[in-house]
Amino acid sequence: MHAQAYLTSRDGNGKCHENIPVWVDLNPRVQERARQEIDACCGADRSPTWSDFAAIPYINCIIKEGMRWRPVAVTSLPHRARADDKYEGMFIPKDTTVFIATWAIHHLDSIYQDSDKFNPDRYLDHQKLANDYAGTSDYSMRDYYNYGAGRRICPGIHLAERNMWRMAAKLLWAFEFSPPYDPVTGKE
């Protein structure tokens, strides 16, 4: 169990760490806005720490949007129906394995307007961490579904988003990301 939790954490945080430069490189406006918040809070003298979370809310928006836009896994962990059930007219027999189609949910325009676009601004009203939204039965209040849903939600939810925030804040404080270019021709 501990090894599985470690590997899951490593994959999620690792993918986020790998993808942050891509997310902001493809969206210079996002990088600029994040850097403005970081500079206003920390300046050049120190890197962001967890105590800066409330003062740098746009980093949280970038993490949430990145995890929604390009989730680590296309489905959540499997669940099993404990009893016969019906959902929108479909019969689900007891012991059926059910997956939450994370990628599909995250790309429904009815839930996430213009869902194929990377837009951290969609999370400006979700200033808290994912664990604060995951427990609600009102799906419209959820930020995203990467950690699953129901009683079997990811036990590392409390640590994961905090860790991703720290990585993103420090990377964006220390580096400016831009497309690669040929030093000879000067072209991207």
Structural domain including 39 reads 2-72+115-145+154-174
Scan for tokens 């400016």, then name that residue.
176
92 found inside a domain:
no
Residue 146 binned pLDDT confidence (cut-offs 50, 70, 90): confident
- Burial status of residue 130 (CB atoms within 10 A of its CB: 0-12, 13-18, 19 or more): buried
- Burial status of residue 57 (CB atoms within 10 A of its CB: 0-12, 13-18, 19 or more): middle
Percent of the chain past pLDDT 70, that is, above it, reads 91
User: Each residue of 67-111: pLDDT tens digit?
Assistant: 999 888 888 888 899 999 999 999 999 999 998 899 999 999 999
61 belongs to an annotated ligand binding site: no
Q: Is 126:100 a contact under the CB 8 Å cutoff?
A: no
26 found inside a domain:
yes
pLDDT at 7: 46
Residue 11 binned pLDDT confidence (cut-offs 50, 70, 90): low
pLDDT at 76: 83
pLDDT at 16 over 80: no
Indicate the angle between helix axes 57-69 and 28-42, nearest 10 degrees: 150
104 found inside a domain:
no
- What is the widest separation between alpha-carbon atoms in the chain? 66
How many domains is the chain built from?
1
User: Degrees (nearest 5) of the Cα angle 160, 107, 154?
Assistant: 25
